[in-house]
Amino acid sequence: MNIIFCTSPFQVLIAKEIARTTGEKFIGVYQRMSYDDRQRIYAEKMSEFCEDTLFIEDESWGRELRKKLENVKLEKLYLSSLDNPIALGILSFAPIQLFTFDDGSTSLITPNMYTVNPSRVVSHNGMTIENVIELSQGHYTVFDKNIIFPTSKLIKMNFNVEPDSFKRAYNGKTIKVFLGQLLGSPMDDKDIKLTEKLINKAVTSLGDVLYYPHPRVPLKIENATTVTTNFCFEEEIYRLLTEYEFVEVYGFYSTSFVLIKDIPGVSVKSFRTFLTTNEAQIYKILGIECIDLPSSDTAVDIIMPVYNSEETVENAIKSVLNQTHTNYRLIIVDDGSTDETGVICKKYLEYTRVVYHKVEHGGISKALNAGIALSTADYIARQDSDDEWMPWHLDFLLNGLDLNPELDIIGSKVVDDENKIPGGIRRNYFNTLSGEQLWLTLAYRNIFNHSTVIFKKKAYEEAGRYDSEFDGFEDWHLWARMVTKDNALVLNTVTAHYRLSESYKKEMFFRSRLARSRGLRLEDVMR
């Protein structure tokens, strides 16, 4: 006899296919993870392919399970949630083999809860996620790839939840549905509010739409019809296809999208936000169309000064065009380049949001001031010709400005190009810099990386604009005049890659020495 352990309706569907594929006998164990009706309904569905079942919802499960296993010889444990301590505790009941199976988006998307910290201890006996992966004798999957387990352990299965009695509608009718989901952390009120904001924005753009809420994410969604169903979403699609010939599915990301995208009559589109750029990229590879959904509608003009940057400028431009935020103009100011920089930049004039302006060589401050003179937006963003923004850069910072309208300037962290961070956004609310601490720190070091800064045009003008006499540390000099004790913020999140060349290292040494020689202190430049 074997045990198969589930914690979600989707896992039950996979478990059913495992039972059909293996022909083995199972005791089904289902642990409640939320309080929607589907939890018990799908727990009861396990009786369709299991000899016996146990529904875990209180402390009595251990006693009940031991009673069920009194006279049973266990051979295998089939487990989906690799970090479930209750399930892993079953391994101590008897010397049994461990097999694993698919667990939602963790099978497709990295980083995830299993890959970020594989050495994390997940059981009372000190077992780590790495240990669980290694201990697994085989992994049952319905996907073509699995990012957690090596190919040698994968056991591919079919996945088809089409009911035997299914009769498709051929009436020309179309229905739009939105699959709800929490973005970020369920413990963070800011993330919950942001999720609510983005879903409302998405469903409003779609018109008439059915909203399927996530059972663990209660949100107030307007301009949509909220649907309560006892079906897993994959099965719900077939129910809809009996009423509508075409079903348009929208959402942020879900394994359901991959499993239903090839059903005749079904189309799937994923909204890309600053929190889901990595997921969107993966789904794009899988053939799922992505739609940008910026959290902020604030207009911003991006000023990019360029000078003999033919080797790097194209990647810098592409990183701007790949932003989740869409309400921007890129103003490229060519400071008299003598190489192919101008030719490369002009290729992108086919984009209506790109402006190219060439001036006589006069240095970076004059180029910046010339670019800002062409701007019409209230906010100015800076980008250097040898740096690259992560796709969420603009939207992440503009969201910070939307939440803190009193700010005149905001920035973030960078990482050198040699140490690029793969995967999705990694936010850190700790060690952000603001207030008096920021103001005092600025007196002895430049805390704003130029390529991450967004500032109000009005504050820039009031501070006296860039001063060409201070080329080499023109940005620091401007911040010193612009920043007060309550109008600036540096977020402790990496949003850009900068190129760390030998010439750059020499420039940093020069800038530091020049600043010291001129005695640049906050009190000296506040004027």
pLDDT confidence bin for 508, thresholds 50/70/90:
low
Where, residue-wise, is CATH 3.90.550.10 in the chain? 300-525
Instruction: Tell which wins on pLDDT, 445 or 264.
Output: 264
Residues of each domain in the chain carrying CATH 3.30.370.20: 2-156
* Contact (CB, 8 A) for 395 and 459: no
E strand intervals along 307-435: 328-335, 354-359, 379-382, 387-389, 409-416, 433-434
Report residue 468 CA to chain centroid gap: 40
- Containing 370, the helix (H) or strand (E) segment is helix 364-373
Summarised one tens digit per residue, pLDDT across range 40-77 is 999 999 999 999 999 998 777 778 887 887 888 889 99
Neighbouring residues of 362: CB distance < 8 A, sequence distance ≥ 6: 335, 336, 468
How many angstroms separate the Cα of 401 from the Cα of each of 141, 389, 398, 465?
43, 18, 5, 21
Q: Where does the pLDDT of residue 523 fall: very low under 50, low under 70, confident under 90, or very high at 90 and above?
A: very low
Q: What's the pLDDT tens digit per position in 64-112?
A: 887 887 888 889 999 999 999 989 988 877 789 999 999 988 899 888 8
* This prediction's pTM: 0.88
CATH number, domain 300-525, options 3.40.50.300, 3.40.50.150, 3.30.43.10, 3.90.550.10: 3.90.550.10
Sequence-ordered list of residues with C-beta below 8 angstroms from that of 222, at least 6 positions apart, any chain: 200, 203, 204
pLDDT tens by residue, 143-153:
988 899 999 99
The pair of three-digit structure tokens given for residue 165, joined into one six-digit string: 């009695």
Q: Alpha-carbon distance 98 to 153, whole Å?
A: 12
Tell me the per-residue pLDDT of 207-236, one tens digit each, with 9 for 90 and over. 999 999 988 778 899 999 999 899 999 999
**392 pLDDT higher than 90:** yes
Where does the pLDDT of residue 419 fall: very low under 50, low under 70, confident under 90, or very high at 90 and above? low
Beta-carbon contacts of 58 under 8 Å, excluding residues fewer than 6 positions away, are none
**According to CATH, where is 3.40.50 located in the chain?**
174-292
Q: Is domain 2-156 annotated with CATH 3.30.370.20?
A: yes
Q: Does the domain formed by 174-292 have CATH 3.90.320?
A: no
